Structure 1
Amino acid sequence: MLSNILAAIRSPPDPAEGAQQRPPRYAGEDTTPTTRREILGWYAYGIAAEVFAVCGVGSFLPLTLEQLAREHGTLQTSHLPCWGPQAPTNGTQADEQCIVGVMGLHITTASFAMYTFSLAVLIQALTLISFSALADYESNRKTLLLSFGFIGSATSMLFVLIAPPVFILGSVLVVIGVTCLGSSFVVLNSFLPVLVANDPSLQEVKDGGDEMSNFQSNSNSGVGDDADWNAWDEEDSLDGLQGPGQHVPLGADGLKSKGSGSNPELQLSTKISSKGVGLGYCAAVFVQILSIALLVTLSKTKLAEISGTLPMRFVLLLVGIWWCLFTFVAGRWLRSRPGPRLDTSSSPGASRWRVWLRLMGFAWKSLWKTVKVAVKLREAMIFLVAWFLLSDAMATVSGTAILFARTELKMSTTSVGLLSITATLSGMTGAFLWPHVSRRFGLKPNQTIIVCIVLFETIPLYGMLAYIPFIKNWGVIGLQKSWEIFPLAIVHGIVSGGLASYCRSFFGLLIPPGSEAAFYALYAATDKGSSFIGPAVVGVLVDATGQVRSGFFFIAILIVLPIPLVWMVNADKGRHDALAMAESLDKSHGGPVNDAQEAEGLLSHEQ
């Protein structure tokens, strides 16, 4: 694991760098062959940011936020401090909910963390859409990547300075960090089609003409999106997405598309992206282990007595330093690969900022045009509604589980870190497992999705068992003991791996060929646009009931709602409608989807 990462850092420059490969399509285009060092630079940023995604957002940020608020809060009834020498250690007072004041409102510390992440996801979605048209111009792609990377890593490192009296600043840092994380990932993935297009191994294909020109015209279509990380075993993954006798022509996000079996660009992008995802997850697990070791060490010092958040804040410092260092490596090894110059001819004398604002408006307008086309495709719209609900449920379960483990099960920070590792490794296992399960039982893609959803439903249902009086009296079953959450973490990881990849795959069936970029932009916007709702609702329930467990009722309903919608989708009819729509758009010579492709930029690469 670590040896692969260190080998990437030590890689020498590639002597091929600097040679021209093909004529530029616009003034200033960098068409020098993609070098090995450049590919390693692309890997380096995945190694950098994935650590914050798993160790920060997935583990220690929710715990740190809750603990910061707790150390500044008071118990709901007794009004005693929630933490410190005056805080009760046993009895009914110790079981009271901890309340903290935020902008004149009194909320529980657990809901404070949920509200923060809900706001962070909402702002991230707005940022992704608003900046979607900027990365494809001039040197903005690399500039945005490094800016998001360094700003995001700084927010993680600055947590070491956030004391309980200024806990609200921690919420601000989370919002900035989560926004930078998601934005940097989509900018990173927008590099991949450019790197593939200039790869020297494709020289013969590029000289062939037609195949290269087709690929060039869709260079922003998200080929090789590393979000579909079940592509680690490409042969098994693609086979597993097919039912009996069914060929699955998938979209441009790194999945199999119609007639793409011999597409060398697709094969190369899949190879690069799958390795990048693998390195990112290995780095995340490695740093998570380091973090647990650091927590155990610091817990034996006086730092933990000063503040319960200090050990976790030092872990976030470590995570931020890691993110910053590997961002620096990515910045050194990635070429700028500039896009066309920003056109200011239509606005003589306009400032650069006005041009950027015009592009932001164009991005929103283009997304709306894509929505108007998607509305005409019944099967695609039904599935988008299902994905809207399902993606929100997945995001809500993750955040709720971490806070439930800490506040209800009283698990230590070290145990929560181990829980995160369990879920991460299970997710990687699920990526390999589901294609084999689907092939073994002859499941169609939507049937596999429904099986995953049913298994996912067992998580909140199991937690709700503790509301049954005789089970509650047992003191076990229904997530009453901390060890019970680890098997559920395995279920969560395995199921999430299948849902994330198969939903993207199934949606690819319903996209008009040639419009993959615009429709996957809409898919990503639907994902991010819904994922703030669930955490906010759970936060309200926690405030109303004083228990994180009450959120299981909402989650159970949210998970089951997409099942009839997924079942209703007729893949054959959806594909037929998509092909008919593609012909219609071709005849219109630049319809709404083609316009959207021009501006969708980052979102088509969203993971």
Structure 2
Amino acid sequence: MAETVTPAAQDDTPPPTSTRRERTGWYFYDWANSAFQTTVITVFLGPFLTSVAKIAAGCELGASDCTGYVYPLGIKVAAGSYYPYLISLSVLLTVFVLPVIGAIADRSLHKKRLLAGAAFTGAGATMGMLFVTGDRYLLGGALFMVANISFGAAIVVYNSFLPQLGGPDERDAISSRGWALGYLGGGLLLALNLVAVQSFDNGTPERTLDLARWSIVSAGLWWAAFTLVPLRWLREHPTAAALAAGGRGNVLTDGFRQLGRTLREVKAYPLTLFFLLAFLVYNDGIQTVITLASVYGTEELRLGQSTLIVTILLVQFLAFGGALGLGALAGRIGAWKTVLLSLVLWTAVIVAAFRLPAEAPLPFMVLGAGIGLVLGGSQALSRSLFSQLIPAGKEGEYYGFYEISDKGTSWLGPAAFGLVFQLTSSYRVGLVSLLIFFVVGFLLLLAVPMRRAIVAAGNTPPRVL
């Protein structure tokens, strides 16, 4: 059906232009929000909420072999599965929230206000973790849900600026620079938290939990403070629909109506949907590795928190170079081929992680270095590839669908991981289930005719794919 779509009117649209200041402002939101992804999601929150849930289950703080249960809303849940299940629940809510946020962004003359509202809500919820003490696992879970959904909503609005910052041949480089700066910012805050942990941790479980709590709070402060930079330097790029409305009407109700029209019309772009399916599958695997790496390290490999922080810090700084390096490679062989190569490397990472010995910090750090080299590039180039497949004027809505499976909101991987743990009490066995996400995702992405898909969406393909 896509072959019958003739978006010739869009072909005459000149490539978007932006200033260096504006692009730098856009990069800085990656710097701001990466603190949440790195310090909170990747390192501290999993072990922190798992420990709080274990306290609520009657376990002694610091006991790694306790298999107690908690009962949120009367449902029996293993304390070790509480955090993975929270991640899965958050995506069920984002399925409804994020596309609506995107539709509202496309109809709004003030996208920066939407970015501010979502970012500051998420940052506030993150800082609220200060009050998650004792056995308050329900409060911690609720704050995480608010923060994670707000995080995704802000990313939807943020990503919708990308197609308006550069032409088809520029977006891979723009997206890669944003990811690279994000890893640098996230790594810097993590380094500061590492210094705090090393300086003030006296080895008691109580002190370790307190330091984790304050590290999470610091990420909320970082996120809020640096969001002020893009809010000042970015320019509004209202869509044709927003300009036609001229601020009249209700943006919320108009956004819902526009989303309904898009859902009815999206079948005209089956190749865009096919790419989104491929991304959903392989990104599910990537996000599960990122989100549950710290839990795997503490609970299965019995590594200390300092080892985990050093490893994730290593990942962050290598990912800075990896994002720029794969971005440069994409400029030579194309983003599509580069992402396919990264998925082969991700498969090797999973196999290596399964074979890691317990209580061995060095092999874990070496594996982290490998992850860092492929992580940033695979994510940055997936984002820019998708920007080529979006019909003009619907960037927010389509990035709403995209974000459902991005940035920690994937659900199949964490659900499988949590279920396998509940059945086997082994995180190592759960890790094996992630291989299928990378293999199937690779095959699906390989089957996407990218150049034809870009033309069918009414866009001009880049020189190399």
Q: TM-score, length-normalised on structure 1?
A: 0.63
Partners of 1:384 and 1:523 within 8 A in 2: no
**CA 1:437/1:146 → structure 2, altered by over 3 Å: closer, same or farther?**
closer
Using the TM superposition, give the Cα deviation of residue 293 of structure 1 relative to its aligned residue in structure 2, in angstroms.
1.3
Equivalent position to 2:451, from 575, 579, 583: 575
Inter-partner Cα distance in structure 1 for 2:81 and 2:49: 10
2:306 alignment counterpart: 414
2:227 alignment counterpart: 327
Task: State the Cα deviation string for residues 114-147 of structure 1 (Å, max 9, x = none).
Answer: 1112222343343221122323556642322222
Q: Which moved more, 1:150-159 or 1:555-564?
A: 555-564
Inter-partner Cα distance in structure 1 for 2:269 and 2:412: 23
Inter-partner Cα distance in structure 1 for 2:237 and 2:98: 21
Equivalent position to 2:296, from 404, 411, 418: 404
Using the TM superposition, give the Cα deviation of residue 556 of structure 1 relative to its aligned residue in structure 2, in angstroms.
1.5
**CA 1:432/1:279 → structure 2, altered by over 3 Å: closer, same or farther?**
closer
Using the TM superposition, give the Cα deviation of residue 185 of structure 1 relative to its aligned residue in structure 2, in angstroms.
2.9
2:14 alignment counterpart: none
Between Structure 1 and Structure 2, which shows a larger proportion of helix residues?
2
Inter-partner Cα distance in structure 1 for 2:41 and 2:369: 19
Inter-partner Cα distance in structure 1 for 2:306 and 2:327: 33
Using the TM superposition, give the Cα deviation of residue 403 of structure 1 relative to its aligned residue in structure 2, in angstroms.
0.9
Q: CA RMSD in A?
A: 3.6
Equivalent position to 2:61, from 59, 80, 83: 83
Inter-partner Cα distance in structure 2 for 1:561 and 1:276: 28
User: Are residue 283 (structure 1) and residue 185 (structure 2) matched?
Assistant: yes
1:549 alignment counterpart: 428
Task: State the Cα deviation string for residues 503-550 of structure 1 (Å, max 9, x = none).
Answer: 4565677x4xx8256489546614524822211121111111111112
1:540 alignment counterpart: 419
2:351 alignment counterpart: 461
Using the TM superposition, give the Cα deviation of residue 373 of structure 1 relative to its aligned residue in structure 2, in angstroms.
1.0
Equivalent position to 1:360, from 253, 256, 260: 256
Q: Secondary structure at the match of 2:77?
A: strand
Partners of 1:405 and 1:482 within 8 A in 2: no
Q: Give the letter aligned to residue 51 of structure 1.
A: A
Using the TM superposition, give the Cα deviation of residue 61 of structure 1 relative to its aligned residue in structure 2, in angstroms.
1.8
Percent identity over the alignment is 24
Q: Secondary structure at the match of 2:103?
A: coil
Q: Secondary structure at the match of 2:164?
A: coil
1:158 alignment counterpart: 128
Equivalent position to 1:490, from 355, 369, 380: 369
Inter-partner Cα distance in structure 1 for 2:298 and 2:312: 13
Equivalent position to 2:149, from 179, 183, 199: 179
2:168 alignment counterpart: 256
**CA 1:501/1:406 → structure 2, altered by over 3 Å: closer, same or farther?**
same
Greater relative CO (CA pairs within 8 A, separation 6+): 2
1:374 alignment counterpart: 269
**CA 1:521/1:428 → structure 2, altered by over 3 Å: closer, same or farther?**
farther
**CA 1:527/1:323 → structure 2, altered by over 3 Å: closer, same or farther?**
closer
Task: State the Cα deviation string for residues 464-490 of structure 1 (Å, max 9, x = none).
Answer: 44xxxxxxxxxxx55563332222222
Partners of 1:149 and 1:181 within 8 A in 2: yes
Equivalent position to 2:280, from 384, 388, 395: 388
**CA 1:448/1:328 → structure 2, altered by over 3 Å: closer, same or farther?**
closer
**CA 1:497/1:104 → structure 2, altered by over 3 Å: closer, same or farther?**
same
Using the TM superposition, give the Cα deviation of residue 555 of structure 1 relative to its aligned residue in structure 2, in angstroms.
0.5
2:360 alignment counterpart: 481
Partners of 2:103 and 2:255 within 8 A in 1: yes
Using the TM superposition, give the Cα deviation of residue 287 of structure 1 relative to its aligned residue in structure 2, in angstroms.
1.0
Q: Which moved more, 1:411-420 or 1:389-398?
A: 411-420
Using the TM superposition, give the Cα deviation of residue 300 of structure 1 relative to its aligned residue in structure 2, in angstroms.
3.0
Partners of 1:427 and 1:497 within 8 A in 2: yes
Q: Give the letter aligned to residue 49 of structure 1.
A: N
Q: Give the letter aligned to residue 256 of structure 2.
A: M
Partners of 2:340 and 2:445 within 8 A in 1: yes
1:292 alignment counterpart: 194
Using the TM superposition, give the Cα deviation of residue 457 of structure 1 relative to its aligned residue in structure 2, in angstroms.
1.3
1:64 alignment counterpart: 48
Alignment gaps of 5+ in structure 1: 1-32, 75-80, 88-93, 194-221, 225-253, 258-265, 345-351, 466-476, 584-607
Q: Give the letter aligned to residue 357 of structure 1.
A: T
Alignment gaps of 5+ in structure 2: 1-16, 460-465
Inter-partner Cα distance in structure 2 for 1:63 and 1:148: 26
Equivalent position to 1:97, from 60, 64, 67: 67
Inter-partner Cα distance in structure 1 for 2:275 and 2:236: 37
1:564 alignment counterpart: 443
**CA 1:505/1:280 → structure 2, altered by over 3 Å: closer, same or farther?**
closer
User: Are residue 108 (structure 1) and residue 78 (structure 2) matched?
Assistant: yes
**CA 1:311/1:131 → structure 2, altered by over 3 Å: closer, same or farther?**
same
Q: Give the letter aligned to residue 564 of structure 1.
A: L
Inter-partner Cα distance in structure 1 for 2:457 and 2:31: 40
Partners of 1:133 and 1:359 within 8 A in 2: yes
Inter-partner Cα distance in structure 2 for 1:437 and 1:335: 30
Q: TM-score, length-normalised on structure 2?
A: 0.80
**CA 1:488/1:434 → structure 2, altered by over 3 Å: closer, same or farther?**
same
**CA 1:451/1:577 → structure 2, altered by over 3 Å: closer, same or farther?**
closer
Q: Which moved more, 1:398-407 or 1:142-151?
A: 142-151
Partners of 1:130 and 1:361 within 8 A in 2: no
Q: Which moved more, 1:149-158 or 1:181-190?
A: 181-190
